[in-house]
Amino acid sequence: MPPLFDTEVFSRVGIVGSPQSAVHDDSKRMALILCHSLHCSLTAPAASLPSIKSSRPKISAISSMEQHNDGSRKFIEFPFVSAPHKDLMVGLVSTVENRLGSQLHTCTLPLDVQHYQNPSGSAQASLYIRSGIEPSLVDFILGSWIHCDLPTGGALNITSLSAYLSASTDAPNFLFELIRSSPTSVVLIVDLPPRKDLVLYPDYLQTFYENTQLESRRQSLAKLPEVQPYFSSSLYIRCLSSPTAIMVRIETKAGQPERMEEIIKDHVDPIAKEVLGIWLDQCACGKREVGETEKACLEKRDKLIKSQTVEIDIGSSFPRLFGPEVAERVVGVIREFYGV
């Protein structure tokens, strides 16, 4: 979903007001980014493809393949993160595209939305979105990375991959985010956010969370001494998460960044790929049809989350991080796409 951001992220690491006036938070506490519907894509179907579902705006298809290639290369570089971190992200993106690629349009966001930065170059981001082709159950997949220099040195790096399903199914979405404020401090989020009330629909809980043994992945990671639970201060974010969500803070000892790389490679990487595999098998490629009444409820719920994201998270975060001109351009595309 980009992002994109819970504004708590920037206040916790010292980016408050504007980047120029930012103050560093000595506690270096990280915040959760939960891109529920954060980024969106403007896609123009090729002549041989069926029309894109919904009433999303279209842009010119001229040189769309060139745009796709340029944007894809820029996104997949993940230029500011460590080798294990990059390998993890490339692996996740490749898995999704290899499995779902034939169901997706190419990314045709404007180039200055696929990659953008603030005037000083201290903050930059890459956006990569592919919308689903009917009758695919996939609404869109979203990948993004954000790099922001911190005022006292170091940098904040955020990488994410989200996948959203259409209202033709009630299956959960997929969310992965890795938020790194220093070589020894990370916040990790891996979840299949539910799209139905788990109390009213216990079979939904059993199908997607109990039978898939997602809890065992969370427990496995929690056994590491460097791993502690992470609790967002946003109650709204908490209520959108599943009971098996992995939301943890990973802290290694100062001067031991190699331990963090080891944890990412040996623990985070395999767990994230297992959860993604479950989502692909059980959700994206599962057979769960919904009736018209339920479909309308899903559409309403999804739109409310998108609207909340644009109005509260993206609308306030982007101007602070990228300046008003860039923010207006990127957020404008997002608003138009989601119709909010």
Does the residue 26 lie in any domain?
no
What pLDDT, in 10s, does the model give residues 177-225? 999 999 999 999 999 999 999 999 999 999 999 999 999 999 999 999 9
Which has the minimum average pLDDT: 127-131, 293-297, 336-340?
A: 336-340
Span 160-174, mean pLDDT?
Answer: 95
Does the residue 12 lie in any domain?
no
Contact 233, 8 (CB under 8 A): yes
Does the residue 21 lie in any domain?
no
Scanning the structure block, which residue is given the tokens 């946003």?
A: 234
Cα separation of 74 and 76, whole Å?
A: 6
Cα separation of 15 and 148, whole Å?
A: 9
Does the residue 272 lie in any domain?
yes
Give the pLDDT confidence score for residue 157 in this predicted structure.
97
Does the residue 38 lie in any domain?
no
**Residue type, position 249, single letter:** R
Distances (CA, A) of 327 to 119, 125, 281, 317, 321: 11, 12, 37, 9, 8
Residue 335, phi then psi, degrees to nearest 5: -60, -45
Cα separation of 67 and 340, whole Å?
A: 26
Tell me the residue length of the chain: 340
Span 94-109, mean pLDDT?
Answer: 93
Q: What's the token pair of residue 181?
A: 């404020």
Instruction: Give 335's pLDDT tier (boundaries 50, 70, 90).
Output: confident
**Residue type, position 49, single letter:** L
Long-range contacts, stretch 178-183, CB < 8 angstroms, 24+ apart = 178/85, 178/88, 178/89, 178/264, 178/268, 179/9, 179/30, 179/31, 179/32, 179/33, 180/81, 180/85, 180/156, 181/12, 181/13, 181/28, 181/30, 181/150, 181/154, 181/156, 182/28, 182/154, 183/257, 183/260
Say what the pTM is.
0.83
Q: Is the dihedral of CA 249, 255, 260, 261 positive or negative?
A: positive
Q: Which domain holds residue 132?
A: 70-291
Residue 197: strand, helix, or coil? coil
Contact 214, 244 (CB under 8 A): yes
Does the residue 11 lie in any domain?
no
Does the residue 60 lie in any domain?
no
Most confident of 107-116, 226-235, 256-265: 256-265
Residue 8, phi then psi, degrees to nearest 5: -60, -30
What pLDDT, in 10s, does the model give residues 215-247? 999 999 999 999 999 998 888 888 999 999 999
Does the residue 59 lie in any domain?
no
Count of domains forming the chain? 1
Contact 109, 41 (CB under 8 A): yes
For the domain that residue 83 is a member of, what is the CATH number?
A: 3.40.1500.20
Contact 44, 58 (CB under 8 A): yes
Give the pLDDT confidence score for residue 9 in this predicted structure.
55
